[in-house]
A and B are shown apart, each in its own frame.
Chain A
Amino acid sequence: GAGVSQSPSNKVTEKGKDVELRCDPISGHTALYWYRQRLGQGLEFLIYFQGNSAPDKSGLPSDRFSAERTGESVSTLTIQRTQQEDSAVYLCASSLWSSGANVLTFGAGSRLTVL
Chain B
Amino acid sequence: GEDVEQSLFLSVREGDSSVINCTYTDSSSTYLYWYKQEPGAGLQLLTYIFSNMDMKQDQRLTVLLNKKDKHLSLRIADTQTGDSAIYFCAGALDTGRRALTFGSGTRLQVQP
A-B residue pair count with CB separations less than 8 angstroms: 59
B42–A91 CB distance below 8 A: yes
Asked whether A58 and B97 contact (CB < 8 A) given A43-B88, A102-B31, A102-B92, the answer is yes
A102 to B28, CA, bound (A): 13
Interface hit among B11-19, B70-78, B102-110:
B102-110
Q: Is A106 an interface residue (CB 8 A)?
A: yes
**Min CB distance, A111 to chain B, in Å?**
9
Q: Are A104 and B98 in contact (CB under 8 A)?
A: no
Bound-complex Cα distance A72 to B43 (A): 22
> Looking at chain B, what size class is its interface with the partner chain?
20 to 34
A111 to B67, CA, bound (A): 37
Interface of A is mostly: loop
**Per DSSP, are chain B's interface residues mostly helix, strand or loop, or mixed?**
strand
- Known contacts A101-B48, A109-B42; decide if A56 and B102 are in contact (CB<8 Å): no
Indicate which residue in A58, A100, A102 contacts B100 across the interface (CB closer than 8 Å). Answer: A102
Q: How large is the interface on A (under 10, 10 to 19, 20 to 34, 35 or more residues)?
A: 20 to 34
Task: Judge if B80 is at the interface, Cβ distance under 8 Å.
Answer: no
- Residues of chain A within 8 A (CB-CB) of B88 are 42-43
Query: CB-defined interface of A85-102 with B at 8 Å, one 1/0 digit per residue?
Result: 000000101000000111
Of B31, B42, B103, B104, the contact of A107 (CB 8 Å cutoff): B42
A103 within 8 A of B: yes
Interface string of B45-70 (1 = CB under 8 A from A): 10010100000000000000000000
Identify the A interface with B (CB < 8 A).
Answer: 4, 33, 35, 41-43, 45, 48, 50, 56, 58-59, 91, 93, 100-109
Q: Which residues of B contact A (CB under 8 A)?
A: 30-31, 33, 35, 40-45, 48, 50, 88, 92, 96-105
